[in-house]
Structure 1
Amino acid sequence: MLSLSGLALFAGIASAYVVSNGTTCYLYPESQIHLGRNVDDTPSIHQAFDQCGTNGTVVFTEETFHLNTVVNTTGLLNCLVELKGELLFSTNVPYWLSHSISVGLQNQSTAWLFGGTNVTFLGQGGSINGNGQTWYDENQNHSNQPGRPITITFSNSTNLWIENLRIIQQQFWATFVTYSHNVTMKDVYVNGTSNSRWNTVNTDGSDTWNSRDILMENWTVVTGDDCIAAKGNTTNLHVKNVTCYGGAGMTIGSVGQYPNSPDYDENIVFEQVRTIDTFNGAYIKTWQGETAGVSSNGDAGGGGSGLIRNITFKDFDMINCSLPLQITQCIYTEDAGACETSKSRYIEDIHFENITATSRYNIAASL
């Protein structure tokens, strides 16, 4: 016989699939009360964060959750998130192309916007699955398709701690840190692997922009693009103990895209990095000095000013790398004349320390 408390608990589960226990909200997938059908769990996720996102805890239980629509869990305060299940994004390409949330950089957007103050996100055996193969096939090796979503964006956050996060088959970039400071991301695993003839273009492990005081430590990234990239106005970034398979290694940039928005990347350290079968290893890239309406990056840009200063690449071991060390101020154009115009951006105090590499070709560096 069920007790009254048991009946109350069951009723709470069945009605919304958010079970509250004081300041803790437990999430269960809607599919359990819809005969296993793929029902969108985003409304329940929003409900849980509305109830427990301030001075509370949100727990994704050990189940599979279907994320069929955009997720916006921002404005959190003193919140703990525990991910024990799988978050599975839908493959509804037309929906995501028209509904993903703009992040303010280039033409990029995100499937999940996450942020707050004093927030901890723990991956306790759970994972985020972007269903990226659909995007690799649909995109067909093109760059920066508008609306193709970043898996999760950490935005407007202060004192954010992320640990044991696992992201597989990211749709686009796996993670993006923007307008945030004092961010720690430890023990992160990202794997975007294609099983078709189309490559995993633009599947960066992480990008930072307009953010400062960031630690990224103990990462493994399988990607077709930047492993970790510090985009414009990233300051005091420390990346440590990272292994990258494929892609473009550790990257500064690209910067200098917008004439009215100077980019300053300063005080950045990449150390204890191992790259395997990458295009680049330690890489600094900027746009050309003149604005171009069309570029190989998929959108317009160039002509922006700024400064790249005090950058350290230390203790690198690069295996079968196409070009281990590269600095270029003309990344997205083939116009040689435009490449002579990058005068308004300065690159100084760049340090390469204890670098070992095997190059795929007969060039080890282009600086």
Structure 2
Amino acid sequence: MCNATEGIPHMSIPKGKIFLLQPVQFSGPCKSNKVLVEVGGIIVAPTNIQAWNDEKEKWISFANIDGLTINGGGQIDGQGSVWWNACTDKALHFHNCNGLQLSKLRHLNSPKNHISISSSNRVYISNLHIFAPEKSPNTDGIDISRSSNVSVLNTVMETGDDCIAINGGSSYIKISGIACGPGHGISIGSLGKNGAYETVEEIQVSNCSFTGTQNAARIKTWQGGSGYARKIIFERIRLINSEHPIIIDQNYDPNSLKPGSKSAVKMSDVTFRDVRGTSADEIAIDLVCSDSVGCTNIVLENIDIRSTIPGKRTYSRCNNAHGTAKETNPIVPCLSQ
């Protein structure tokens, strides 16, 4: 397919057909600046672990292919239940695929992450339905790392882990129109694991709903790491029985390092605006910043998060968080002084 020199190279999975696909990698660069893959039918992964041979990190991967479009209204079934207690990784992986467009597909039961995007620029993802059971481990919907100018729009995600995770090296990410739940919400990070230097900036998450999720809008960084997470906006967020609606955790897995670490990923210029709905936990706003570095210019505006239980109050919790809060329920004293 990559050797075609005329027209747009085209691979089709016909509607009404089911294809059993062994682990496969499509590698470029391609001679054409556009490549089309139409998935009209159903692609299924092997359920026999032995059939995967030595390839247990990726099921379907695309590398170094620019101008790749995958659509067609079909289904990708990772049949992942056999893997959920084993060591495996991504179902659909894109590395260095600039100009990627991914739309109108149903993706379910990944062995681990459903879709992984790395080292790519100008990525457009829309109108997907991603599903895995609530108790399935590590079945992230979409993971983004070391990528920029990525849009994820108008997608339904029901997963056992993060609906979307935005990891180190990512910038100019737009997330909008996501219906998440069950799952662990939309997360920035985790960043700075094992003392790593990592950065994330210019992230916009808007017009998203979270139903029965463990978290909603979350930023998580490890003690001992370095770098920064900045210029992040969560706005027009709707919550139904979300356990931790707003959470900043600058001490993610705090027992992993010795107490008193002086290093942390710097967090600044983070805004939560127009966040409304119900919380399953009494701590609806949780801003846990590190003692050594802290968080600066944290802005909360027009927040109204009430308890799922009628008549019960919600509260906020802060540690070394600095910024402003305006028209928030619950009140956030550390930002309101």
Per the TM superposition, whether the score is higher than 0.5 is yes
Give how far 1:169 is off: 1.0
Taking a change above 3 Å as real, the CA distance of residues 68 and 282 of structure 1, as seen in their structure-2 partners, is same
Taking a change above 3 Å as real, the CA distance of residues 282 and 220 of structure 1, as seen in their structure-2 partners, is same
Q: Which residue of 1 aligns with 2:144?
A: 208
Give how far 1:331 is off: 1.7
Q: Which residue of 2 aligns with 1:132?
A: 80
Q: Which residue of 2 aligns with 1:365?
A: 285
For residue 68 of structure 2, the aligned residue among 105, 119, 125 is 119
Query: 1:206 corresponds to which letter in structure 2?
Result: I
Q: Does 1:64 align with 2:18?
A: yes
Query: 1:89 corresponds to which letter in structure 2?
Result: A
For residue 205 of structure 2, the aligned residue among 270, 290, 298 is 270
Taking a change above 3 Å as real, the CA distance of residues 342 and 287 of structure 1, as seen in their structure-2 partners, is farther
Between the aligned partners of 2:6 and 2:218, the Cα distance in structure 1 is 39
Alignment of 1:244-255 (within 5 A): 244-255=180-191
Cα shift readout 1:22-49 (whole Å, capped 9, x = no counterpart): xxxxxxxxxxxxxxxxxxxxxxxxxx56
Tell me the SS of whatever aligns to 1:99.
coil
Q: Does 1:319 align with 2:268?
A: no
Q: Which residue of 2 aligns with 1:21?
A: none
Between the aligned partners of 1:243 and 1:92, the Cα distance in structure 2 is 32
Between the aligned partners of 1:126 and 1:365, the Cα distance in structure 2 is 39
Taking a change above 3 Å as real, the CA distance of residues 85 and 209 of structure 1, as seen in their structure-2 partners, is same
8 A contact 2:188–2:218 mirrored in 1: yes
The TM-score normalised by the length of structure 2 is: 0.79
Between the aligned partners of 1:168 and 1:183, the Cα distance in structure 2 is 21
Cα shift readout 1:276-310 (whole Å, capped 9, x = no counterpart): 11111000011221xxxxxxxxxxxxxx3110000
8 A contact 2:223–2:264 mirrored in 1: no
Q: Does 1:330 align with 2:278?
A: no
Tell me the SS of whatever aligns to 2:99.
strand
Between the aligned partners of 2:53 and 2:213, the Cα distance in structure 1 is 29
Q: Which residue of 2 aligns with 1:176?
A: 116
Taking a change above 3 Å as real, the CA distance of residues 192 and 49 of structure 1, as seen in their structure-2 partners, is farther
Give how far 1:335 is off: 5.9
Q: Which residue of 1 aligns with 2:43?
A: 87
Q: Which residue of 2 aligns with 1:300?
A: none
Query: 1:312 corresponds to which letter in structure 2?
Result: I
For residue 227 of structure 1, the aligned residue among 158, 163, 179 is 163
Between the aligned partners of 2:223 and 2:101, the Cα distance in structure 1 is 36
Between the aligned partners of 2:217 and 2:277, the Cα distance in structure 1 is 11
Query: 1:174 corresponds to which letter in structure 2?
Result: H
Tell me the SS of whatever aligns to 2:274.
strand
Query: 2:106 corresponds to which letter in structure 1?
Result: R
Between the aligned partners of 2:212 and 2:13, the Cα distance in structure 1 is 36
The runs of 5 or more residues in structure 2 that have no matched partner are 288-337
Residue identity over aligned pairs, in percent, reads 27
Give how far 1:96 is off: 3.6
For residue 179 of structure 2, the aligned residue among 226, 243, 266 is 243
Q: Which residue of 2 aligns with 1:256?
A: 192
Between the aligned partners of 2:7 and 2:118, the Cα distance in structure 1 is 21
Q: Higher helix share goes to which structure?
A: 1
Cα shift readout 1:160-191 (whole Å, capped 9, x = no counterpart): 11111210111111001100000000111100
The TM-score normalised by the length of structure 1 is: 0.72
Query: 1:78 corresponds to which letter in structure 2?
Result: K
Query: 1:180 corresponds to which letter in structure 2?
Result: S
8 A contact 1:264–1:308 mirrored in 2: yes
Give how far 1:343 is off: 2.7
For residue 350 of structure 1, the aligned residue among 236, 258, 270 is 270
Give how far 1:357 is off: 2.7
Taking a change above 3 Å as real, the CA distance of residues 250 and 133 of structure 1, as seen in their structure-2 partners, is same
Taking a change above 3 Å as real, the CA distance of residues 232 and 54 of structure 1, as seen in their structure-2 partners, is farther
Q: Which residue of 1 aligns with 2:54?
A: 98
**Range with greater deviation from structure 2 (241-250 or 112-121):** 112-121
The runs of 5 or more residues in structure 1 that have no matched partner are 1-47, 101-108, 140-144, 290-303
Give how far 1:71 is off: 3.3
Between the aligned partners of 1:191 and 1:317, the Cα distance in structure 2 is 20
Between the aligned partners of 2:46 and 2:20, the Cα distance in structure 1 is 7
Over aligned residues, Cα RMSD in angstroms?
2.1
Which runs of 4 or more aligned residues in structure 1 lie more than 4 Å from their structure 2 counterparts after TM superposition?
48-54
Cα shift readout 1:265-286 (whole Å, capped 9, x = no counterpart): 0000110110111111000011
Taking a change above 3 Å as real, the CA distance of residues 97 and 365 of structure 1, as seen in their structure-2 partners, is farther
Q: Higher strand share goes to which structure?
A: 2
